[in-house]
Amino acid sequence: MTKLLTIVLLLAVTAMISGVNPVIEMKTNKGTIEFELYQDKAPQTVENILKYVNDGFYTDIVFHRVIDNFMIQVGGFTSEHSRKDPTYPSIQNEADNKLGNERGTLAMARTGEPHSASSQFFINLKDNTFLNHRGKSQQGWGYCVFGKVTKGMDVVDAIAKSDTGVDEISRMKDWPATDVVIESMKVMEKE
């Protein structure tokens, strides 16, 4: 058994024994969103996200891409509208974990390179099956689902209804006219 497989199995067994996946609380200036991370299904991705959360990376980050009836994306721009570079290397795409890009799920954002995800992720506003894994090819990898909103989907939907346009500073399209800022993100204490 390889070392990676051993680690993955240990994480999966730990998650099954505890019966509890990590839960993140994201406080925004529009309200609070909570989501469960699927450590048992996307262990490398969840480990990556937890590092960023624990480092405080997401504080004062904005939702920079909001497309109603598709998704809202965060993790790459500050409240000053400047790019915030990832602090860790890109991760292996775990989209072959059989989790679908369904309404309320969180998935890693990436470039055209399947294994380029780092700090950016998005929340699906509807079932986006075309983003699912179809095969281990450039076009087939899809986008790794690693969690799901458990509270605050009304906040997600409110963010989705933001007026958007081209941001004057970053020049990014689909930028909300009124900034949606993450004030804090933290791992919730297990009860």
What are the residue ranges in the chain where pLDDT is below 50? 4-5, 8, 15-17
pLDDT of residue 3: 59
For the whole model, what pTM was predicted? 0.89
Residue 190: what pLDDT? 73
pLDDT score of 6: 53
Residue 12 amino acid letter: A
What pLDDT digit, counting tens, does each position of 16-30 carry? 445 589 999 999 999
Q: What's the confidence (pLDDT) of residue 17?
A: 45
pLDDT score recorded for residue 84: 97
CATH numeric code, 20-187: 2.40.100.10
Nearest partner of 27 among 57, 54, 59, 52, judged by Cα:
59
pLDDT of residue 8: 47
Give the pLDDT of residue 5.
47
CA distance 172 to 167: 5
For residues 181 and 88, the answer to whether their CB atoms sit within 8 Å is no
Three-state SS for the chain is: CCHHHHHHHHHHHHHHHHCCCCEEEEEECCEEEEEEECCCCCHHHHHHHHHHHHHCCCCCEEEEEEECCCEEEEEEEECCCCECCCCCCCCCCCHHHCCCCCCCEEEECCCCCCCCCCCCEEEECCCCHHHCCCCCCCCCCCCCEEEEEEECHHHHHHHHCCCEECCCCCCCCCEECCCCEEEEEEECCCC
d(CA 16, CA 80): 41
> Domain-by-domain residue ranges, the chain?
20-187
